Amino acid sequence: MILTVTLNTALDITYTVDTLAPHTSHRVGEVVERPGGKGLNVARVLAALGHSTVVTGFAGGPVGTVLRGLLASEGPHDALVPTAGNTRRTIAVVDTATGDTTQLNEPGPLISPGEWAALLGRYTALLPEARAVALCGSLPPGVHVGAYADLIRRARAAGVPVLLDTSGEPLRRGIAARPDLVKPNADELARLTGARDPLRATLDARRRGAHSVVASLGADGLIAVTPDGVWRAAPPAPVRGNPTGAGDSVVAALLAGLVDGLPWPERLARAVALSAATVLAPAAGEFDRPAHDELLPLVRVTEHAAAA
């Protein structure tokens, strides 16, 4: 199975309103709730691709109960660790006319030392069964900033390939613990390295400790700097739609390609096709399977001369 870790899970709530106008009152049209947090999104896509997946991380309080109830009707197996605090909500307010989205993200519950110890125990117990592990998203209050570095070292000690998808200081600390793969986006990469040029920044990120770095550049596709070479992969043409979850689909495809032992160009082609198929799907975080199958042979993967 593939294990994903979401320390700051969320109940993702989507509201539709005519137009969000600050300091006025709005009647919400539609209310949609979904289990969220990057690792849960990655696991949902992996399950849809037919992979056995297990999710761990934290969930608690009434919101955590709702999240776990919704998760039970999806594919991934629930190995979340209970918390005394209430799982956070994220509210996406979508303007009906334009599709523009305003995001309100609660901070998440304060994790106690006992809860963190329980998570480490659960994680360590799951690792021997895992063919790969993904560590995804932000850290909730109370979890130390080096938490991902700790989880990476444990995965490496267990011989399990580990992917890190986070930002800021947790990314910086995590990379230093030598994960097999990190997947920053262009902004995260620029903040990490100070370099504006994506290739230069990706090379720099790899020098900080990651075995491989796959940077997602939005509509421009991916840059991968790996021990086997450097590649760019891009869709045949830019796709328009809802980019929510596109990055999570890249992570899912990279994990699937890893456990299937695919060569890098094939992994990257699948990641680009799955990401584009996610943008094209009407519902955030879903993917359009026929579009994926149609796009896959059209993705352009080019090897780059730059030495990795």
Q: Kindly tell me which of 190 and 262 has the beta carbon lying closer to a copy of itself.
A: 190
Given the rule CB under 8 A, which residues bind a copy of itself?
A: 15, 17, 20-29, 31, 62, 65-66, 69, 91, 93, 95, 100-107
Give, in degrees to the nearest 5, the angle at Cα 159 between 231 and 270. 30
Min. distance of Cβ 141 from a copy of itself in angstroms?
12
Q: Kindly tell me which of 52 and 86 has the beta carbon lying closer to a copy of itself.
A: 86
How far is residue 263's CA from residue 17's CA, in Å, rounded to a whole number? 45
Min. distance of Cβ 143 from a copy of itself in angstroms?
16
How far is residue 251's CA from residue 272's CA, in Å, rounded to a whole number? 10
Q: Kindly tell me which of 27 and 240 has the beta carbon lying closer to a copy of itself.
A: 27
User: Is residue 248 annotated as a catalytic residue, yes or no?
Assistant: yes
The active-site residue, picked from 18, 248, 288, 293, is 248
Query: Which distant-in-sequence residues (6+ apart) come within 8 Å of 276 by Cβ?
Result: 235, 239, 246, 291, 292, 295
Q: Kindly tell me which of 17 and 190 has the beta carbon lying closer to a copy of itself.
A: 17
16: left (phi over 0), alpha (psi -120 to 50) or beta: beta
Min. distance of Cβ 30 from a copy of itself in angstroms?
9
Tokens 């399990």 belong to residue:
160
Token pair listed for 51: 């992979």
Give CA 6 to chain center in angstroms: 9
Give the residue among 262, 299, 260, 300 at the shortest CA–CA distance from 277: 299
Min. distance of Cβ 100 from a copy of itself in angstroms?
4
Which residues are the active-site residues? Answer: 248
